[in-house]
Amino acid sequence: MFLYSEDPTKRYHSWNYALRQEFGGKIFKVPVDGGFDCPNRDGTVAHGGCTFCSVSGSGDMIVAPNEALPVQFQKEIDMMHQKWPAVDQYIVYFQNFTNTHAPVEIIRERFEQVVNLPGVVGLSVGTRPDCLPSEVVDYLAELNQRLYLWVELGLQTTYEQTSEQINRAHDYPTYVDAVARLRQHNINVCTHLINGLPGESLDMMRENVRRTLLDSDIQGIKLHLLHLMRNTKMLRDYAEGRLQLMSKQDYVSVVCDQLEMIPQEIIIHRLTGDAPWDALVGPMWSLKKWEVLNAIDQELLHRDSYQGKFNIREKTHAANRFTI
């Protein structure tokens, strides 16, 4: 049976539970925009960015992205305190675009603006696997000795054909190598995968999780639903029939299948995402985020299932022992 939950309705190792275990109470994860660009937008490896990405990247929900970093931080926590006034510990999340896509001196200067702010206990860095040169990994290793650190790697898919279609502009071995180099310094890694990318079947979505778990030593995972946004290149895939938006039923089912494969010690940072309602083309059911999460809870309950029930790592190790 599932081990990691104080809430009987949660049959997976949630990010909220993990933080409460680590820090003894509720923590705010505070998104900020560090002012970085992306290598497949600025021409370093490609132009135009990923086809699902809007002009503002993943920072659509950041309150004051053009302000100085300490000001962004303060405005975000002021808004959060309206609902949870007693929270006084924070993880700063460098969310938008690629937050290690710069010389290490610039990265250091920007990160150091927030790591010593009052109440900051951790840092989460969103980046790409192809933007982790050795000097940047060394700085991250230094940060890992100073505070609670996660590096969030956007992988999205393990299939090279899909990666090329969405203009990801790096290959799967680059991701596997990046995780290995981060783990040499015991840095926590959270991998992002998107369900519903053009041309990917439900079986391929399950295979994305299976490969990621077997090929990389990750400590966390984010499962996203593909949000089709206005002013993105992916609209052409949709218009020309290469993209079918997922139904809520299919999404809930495949997420539960994926959870069943994921070992219980891996932290589930997210099971769906947020999108601005005025920019979303679909699926429109995704706007009711809590209904989606509740449906996942109910499906696991209906199956009498939980995260790790069919732990893919254990199954593979057992098969290898049997073969030997």
Ordered DSSP codes for 36-101: ---TTTBSSS-BS--TT--TTTT-TT-S-TTS-HHHHHHHHHHHHHTT-TT---EEEEE-SS-TT-
β-bridge mates for residue 282, sequence order: 228
Q: Give the pLDDT score at 91.
A: 98
Q: How confident is the model at residue 63 (pLDDT cuts 50, 70, 90)?
A: confident
15-321 is a CATH 3.20.20 domain: yes
Quick check: 262 and 221 in contact, CB under 8 A?
Answer: yes
Q: Give the pLDDT score at 301.
A: 95
pLDDT at 323 over 60: no
pLDDT at 287 over 70: yes
**CA gap 77, 145 in Å, rounded:** 25
pTM of the model: 0.94
Sequence-distant (6+) residues with CB within 8 A of 185 are 137, 140, 141, 144
pLDDT at 225 over 50: yes
Tens of pLDDT, residues 162-202: 999 999 999 999 999 999 999 999 999 999 999 999 999 99
Q: Give the pLDDT score at 61.
A: 65
**CA gap 239, 23 in Å, rounded:** 47
Task: Evaluate the CA torsion angle 270, 196, 209, 2 in order and state its sign.
Answer: positive
Q: How confident is the model at residue 324 (pLDDT cuts 50, 70, 90)?
A: very low
Mean pLDDT of the chain: 93
The mean per-residue pLDDT over the stretch 109-137 comes to: 97
**CA gap 120, 65 in Å, rounded:** 19
pLDDT at 56 over 90: no
Quick check: 60 and 54 in contact, CB under 8 A?
Answer: yes
Token pair 């369900």 in the structure block, residue? 195
- Find, among 221, 225, 220, the residue nearest to 273 by Cα: 225
Q: Give the pLDDT score at 315.
A: 72
Token pair 């990801």 in the structure block, residue? 168
**CA gap 317, 22 in Å, rounded:** 29
pLDDT at 55 over 80: no
Q: C-alpha angle with apex 141: 308 to 157, nearest 5 degrees?
A: 45
Q: Give the pLDDT score at 322.
A: 39
SS3 160: helix
Q: Give the pLDDT score at 276.
A: 86
Would you tell me how many other CB atoms lie within 10 Å of the CB of residue 204? 16
Q: How confident is the model at residue 57 (pLDDT cuts 50, 70, 90)?
A: low
- Find, among 174, 154, 178, 118, the residue nearest to 270 by Cα: 154
Sequence-distant (6+) residues with CB within 8 A of 196 are 205, 225, 226, 245, 246, 251
Q: How confident is the model at residue 319 (pLDDT cuts 50, 70, 90)?
A: low
User: Which range (98-112, 141-155, 307-321) has the least confidence?
Assistant: 307-321
Helix (H) or strand (E) holding 149: strand 148-156
